[in-house]
Structures are given as C-alpha cells and as structure tokens.
Amino acid sequence: MEAALGGIEGRRLAPGEYGYDDLAQGDWYETAGVTVTEAHVVGFAGLSGDLFDVHMDDEFARREGFPGRIAHGLLGLSLADGLKTRSPVRLLGVATLSWNWSFRAPLLIGDRMSVRIAVAAVRATKRPERGIATLAMRIVKQTGDTVQEGESMLLMSRRALA
C-alpha cells in the first residue's frame, strides 16, 4: 500500500506482534471487515446520546438525500479502531494520543467496512523506553469507496535498551 496511504509502496506487515522498533515509515496492512448493523447504530445512539434524525429516522435521511439512515461518523471510527485492535497484525501500543479525522462519505447500515493502515511516521520520545507511531488510516466500504480517513498517534513501548 502507498506509504501513509499517499504514494510509495512499503512493506506489507504479516500477522504477528510489532513494537515501536519493528516499524518503519511505509509499513502497511489491511484489517478484516465488519458489516454495520442496525444494532450497531441503535446501540451507539444509546451509548453516545446522539439521536440525530439522520441516524434514527429513515424518512428524514431519505428527504435529506441519503439512501437511508446513516451510521454515526464516530461509530465508523470506533469500529475502525476495534478492527485495528483485533487484527492479526498486532501493534503493541500503550495508548492512543490523538486523532485527526475526516468523514468523506456516508456509512450505511448494511455496508461492510475494513481499514487500510499505513505507518506515516515513527519518532522517539524524551523517554527512551517509548516511541510514537503516526498511523494513516482509511475506512473503505465494500464498493472500494473511502468513507473516512485520517491519522492517529499511537504511544508504543520500545524494546529494552541493551
């Protein structure tokens, strides 16, 4: 996949565990997929309190030009983070530090989504036992269309220094 999802091919990561020291700019992988369900949307609405009509009212969504109700943008992001976490390619992160995210197209109930992830950058921190990987992420649905994309900064442990 393009480095940082933008241009040059890098190394495709095989299943396994990857710490900070194992990653290089341009490394990439794709997650498995998940189908967005009615239960996802209703559950997320209840959890988040976001009962906006475009998520809950099919007629309203159609009047606004959508083919039907759309999933919450943050539901898509949450599912993407879950797919990343459950992937056979395991990034040994400590904590997510930030998200810089864009919503490009609607994610509909019934859409199947997966995530393309590339290492955009790696950098050391002031603490020698830690590093930060910037991950470029793109949510793609079954049509190949990008519905969301952005970057996440992941704090990672480094191997013990000899």
Residue 76 pLDDT = 98
- Structural domains of the chain sorted by starting position, each given as residue range(s) with its CATH number in brackets: 3-157 (3.10.129.10)
Cα(83)–Cα(110) distance, integer angstroms: 17
Indicate the pairing of strand 146-157 with strand 130-141: antiparallel
Residues 125 and 52: their CA atoms lie apart, in Å, by: 41
Q: What is the pLDDT of residues 84-125, one digit of tens each?
A: 999 999 999 999 999 999 999 999 999 999 999 999 999 999
Between the two ends of the chain, the Cα-to-Cα distance in Å is 34
- In this prediction, residue 161 carries a pLDDT of 56
* Number of other CB atoms surrounding residue 139 within 10 Å: 26
pLDDT along the chain (162 residues), means of 10: 59 97 97 98 98 98 97 98 97 96 98 98 94 98 98 90 50
pLDDT value of residue 143:
97
Query: Beta partners for 156?
Result: 93, 131
pLDDT value, residue 6 = 59
Cα–Cα–Cα angle for 111, 115, 119, nearest 5°? 165
Amino acid 3: pLDDT: 45
Give me the residues paired with residue 136 across strands. 118, 151
- Do residues 94 and 130 lie in contact, with contact meaning Cβ atoms separated by under 8 Å? yes
- The structure's pTM equals 0.91
Q: In the prediction, which pLDDT does 158 show?
A: 87
Instruction: Answer for the pair 69, 54: CB distance below 8 angstroms, yes or no.
Output: yes
pLDDT for 86? 96
Q: For residue 161, how many other CB atoms are within 10 A of its CB?
A: 7
